[in-house]
């Protein structure tokens, strides 16, 4: 009986705040022999070059480790795009870091992560910062049935 290959959806929408999610997503995908979709979301026109640079660097790391992957770049609002993409792509886990929101925006609109948790129907691995050396990780998943 063939085992289903795990599929990671790793998201970035900005610069340094998302690097932990990209790096840990790769770190975890390698021993699990997971497929990876990297989603770069361009919310602001001035962030496009930085996101493209991050994605190219991440792709090089994935190729070096022999990890099957694809890359998507989409322009728009992160929360909406994540909701749409997770419906279309049958990923098993969403890997995401901080979204790089300003304190004022978080205060006025609330944390984006809460909206994502409420609208995405798959496990989320949230990685706010790099903690090294990471030697082991335990991931526990539970099935929640929504009414």
Map out the domains of the chain as residue ranges.
7-126
Instruction: Tell me, yes or no, if the pTM score tops 0.85.
Output: no
Beta strand 93-96 with 124-126 is: parallel
**What is the per-residue pLDDT across 83-96, written as a single tens digit (0 to 9) for each?**
899 889 889 999 98
* CATH no. for 7-126: 3.40.50.620
**What is the per-residue pLDDT across 122-139, written as a single tens digit (0 to 9) for each?**
888 888 777 766 677 666
Distance from C-alpha of 35 to C-alpha of 26, rounded to nearest angstrom: 10
Q: Residue 9: which residues within 8 A CB-CB, separation 6 or more?
A: 37, 39, 85, 86, 89, 91, 93, 94, 95
């Amino acid at each position: 009986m063939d085992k289903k290959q795990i599929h990671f959806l790793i998201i970035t929408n900005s610069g340094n705040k998302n690097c932990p999610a990209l790096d840990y997503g790769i770190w975890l995908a390698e021993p699990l022999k997971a497929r990876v979709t990297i989603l770069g979301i361009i919310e602001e026109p001035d962030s496009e070059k930085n996101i493209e640079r991050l994605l190219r660097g991440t792709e090089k790391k994935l190729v070096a480790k022999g990890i099957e992957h694809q890359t998507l770049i989409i322009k728009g609002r992160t929360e909406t795009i994540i909701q749409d993409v997770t419906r279309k792509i049958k990923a098993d886990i969403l890997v995401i870091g901080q979204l790089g929101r300003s304190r004022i925006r978080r205060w006025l609109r609330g944390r984006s992560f809460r909206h994502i948790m409420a609208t995405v129907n798959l496990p989320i691995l949230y990685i706010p910062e790099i903690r090294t050396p990471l030697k082991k990780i335990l991931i526990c998943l539970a099935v929640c049935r929504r009414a």
